[in-house]
Structure 1
Amino acid sequence: MRRIVVGVFGGLLAAMLAIGTVDTFVWLPEATAPSIPLERIYAALGDSGDLLACIASPVIWFGFWAVLGTLFVTAQLPAHPAFRPMLLRPVSAAALGLLLLGGVGFFHWWSAFAMAMSVSDELPPGYGTITPLGMVIVLGGLIAIAVGALLGVAALVSRPRAAPALS
């Protein structure tokens, strides 16, 4: 059961990272400057010197959460018996998976902020925005954090304990 839970959350993490990356690099610039083609948006950012800052934040977001997601999956699917003490019960793995999904979702907005601000500073109409999908990712992340925290507390409370020693 734990392997199924870990596999599901690993797949959800990968999907959320892929969708969030496309949202940041394609859909967000198009939403911020709707009348300008994407190639021209990136050309304007390159000319102004903002392109590196726009790319760095989402790349760091992607790399950080991809590494954490990979560690989560690989630590819970061990091939060697020495790693068995690190294995979580399925409910604990689900709680940790939800917290990871929540982190990916919540920090997606932070990583996309530089892109949105740079595009709105350089090109008309000059106002910041967020895509509807970006809002779903952020709000979904906040909900996942709340549910993961509650599930984690439930996992701690319900964990099996050793019987007390009789004297």
Structure 2
Amino acid sequence: MTRIRYRSVMSIDRDRGASRRRRAQWGGALLAAIAIVMTPPLGIGSYVLGVAAAGYPLDGTGVAPLAVAVVGGAVGLALVVGSALIVSALVARPRPRPVTTAGAVSLIAGTALLTALPLAPSVVLGLMGFPYLVAIALMGFGASACASAWMRSGETAPGPRVESDRERPATLAATLAVATLIPLSLLATGLVEAFVWGPEAQTDGLTAAEVWAALSAGDAAAARAGIIGWAVISALLSLLPALVAVLARRIPDAAPADRRRAIRVAGLFAGGMVATLHWVGTFSLGMSIADTLPPYTGSLSGPAAVIVGLGSFLLASAVFAALLGRPAARAHTSPVREVTPTR
């Protein structure tokens, strides 16, 4: 029977000398970031490139040509580099398993399809979302196959804990405070945007008070309900870093650096979800304004555009923080397995 001696709370970064695994980590992180940015309505990339591909006037949709160039260039570069890193890591394996090879190919193909879909003709996008389901299925199979290959590749036994790896309550408290502040600050900004900046940006020179007064009682109630619902969900998400901190302390083998990294990832993920779900909370308000106060401009306020962009950025940052964080300060050894004889 094979018994795993040690496993980091959240990482495959223990083998710092194994460049093959590091390349696979970087490639996987880049492709995961593309999936976040390009999956509608999760990421802003699909909207930005879709508007440009449809031929809409960019100034009338709140999408600047610079944003199209930056998003398109970043996504294309990440796809090329991420795919090259995964292929190089696969080729470097002594005996690549067929399942691992198929998983890597599936992961790259699914990511490439997801990236290309916003640029596809409308007839392709009108197939009830089927192309997106195919892309997600390919990526899911590829990620599962690659993850299973890593699980079979052995773990790293930790060396003795060094002085810099001691638990420091002040450092842990500061990490938790910053991680909690990220979703809370987005919640506060999003509330102001929903009640003030957003209504003013969607109408022709009216103040927020005039917009709310012009709505019917039912429309105003539905709009407030949507915003309040988003605020409640956001408040619950802001508790995620504290929950992770409590759970991480219950893992005896977890290094303090791993606990802090788990809290940072939770904060980035919570902030990303708060920002990403903001449009859901304000959707009813936008529809009510469009029906009640023509001419409806349909434009985003400046803060709303920032919030939408931050959602994709924070979620992608959470992926990078989880996969590519600095290893805990320990004297690590080579990947080993401890074999316990069975009777």
- TM-score, structure 1 as length reference: 0.82
**Structure 1 residue 98: Cα displacement:** 0.7
- Taking the aligned partners of 2:319 and 2:225, their CA distance within structure 1 comes to 30
- Taking the aligned partners of 1:93 and 1:74, their CA distance within structure 2 comes to 9
The one-letter code of the counterpart of 1:45 is L
**Structure 1 residue 34: Cα displacement:** 3.5
Distance 1:40 1:112, change over 3 A: same
User: What does 1:25-104 correspond to in 2, within 5 Å?
Assistant: 25-47=195-217, 49-73=218-242, 76=245, 84-85=249-250, 89-104=259-274
- Taking the aligned partners of 1:154 and 1:2, their CA distance within structure 2 comes to 20
- Taking the aligned partners of 1:74 and 1:149, their CA distance within structure 2 comes to 19
Among 94, 116, 121, which residue is 2:286 paired with? 116
Aligned length, in residue pairs = 161
Superposed CA deviations along residues 80-115 of structure 1, whole A, max 9, x for unmatched, are xx9831686111211111111110111112222221
Do the aligned partners of 1:104 and 1:141 also contact (CA within 8 Å) in 2? yes
- Taking the aligned partners of 1:74 and 1:98, their CA distance within structure 2 comes to 14
Query: Which 5+ residue runs of structure 2 have no aligned equivalent?
Result: 1-170
- Taking the aligned partners of 1:75 and 1:140, their CA distance within structure 2 comes to 22
Pair 1:165 & 2:335 matched? no
Could you say which residue in structure 2 is the equivalent of 1:143? Answer: 313
Q: Secondary structure at the match of 1:50?
A: helix
Do the aligned partners of 1:9 and 1:98 also contact (CA within 8 Å) in 2? yes
Among all aligned residue pairs of Structure 1 and Structure 2, give the percentage whose two residues are the same amino acid: 27
Distance 1:83 1:9, change over 3 A: closer
Distance 1:93 1:75, change over 3 A: closer
Indicate the larger mover: 110-119 or 100-109: 110-119
* Structure with greater contact order relative to length (CA < 8 Å, sep ≥ 6): 1
- Taking the aligned partners of 1:10 and 1:85, their CA distance within structure 2 comes to 20
- TM-score, structure 2 as length reference: 0.42
Superposed CA deviations along residues 105-135 of structure 1, whole A, max 9, x for unmatched, are 1111222222122112211322312111101
- Taking the aligned partners of 2:318 and 2:192, their CA distance within structure 1 comes to 26
- Taking the aligned partners of 1:73 and 1:40, their CA distance within structure 2 comes to 40
Do the aligned partners of 1:44 and 1:122 also contact (CA within 8 Å) in 2? yes
Could you say which residue in structure 1 is the equivalent of 2:302? Answer: 132
Moved over 3 A (4+): 157-167
Do the aligned partners of 1:16 and 1:104 also contact (CA within 8 Å) in 2? yes
- Taking the aligned partners of 1:60 and 1:112, their CA distance within structure 2 comes to 10
- Taking the aligned partners of 2:280 and 2:305, their CA distance within structure 1 comes to 12
The one-letter code of the counterpart of 1:165 is E
Distance 1:148 1:71, change over 3 A: closer
**Structure 1 residue 21: Cα displacement:** 0.5
Higher strand share: 2
Indicate the larger mover: 85-94 or 61-70: 85-94
**Structure 1 residue 69: Cα displacement:** 1.0
User: Over alpha carbons, which structure has the higher Rg?
Assistant: 2
Superposed CA deviations along residues 38-63 of structure 1, whole A, max 9, x for unmatched, are 2221122135x211211111111110
- Taking the aligned partners of 1:4 and 1:56, their CA distance within structure 2 comes to 34
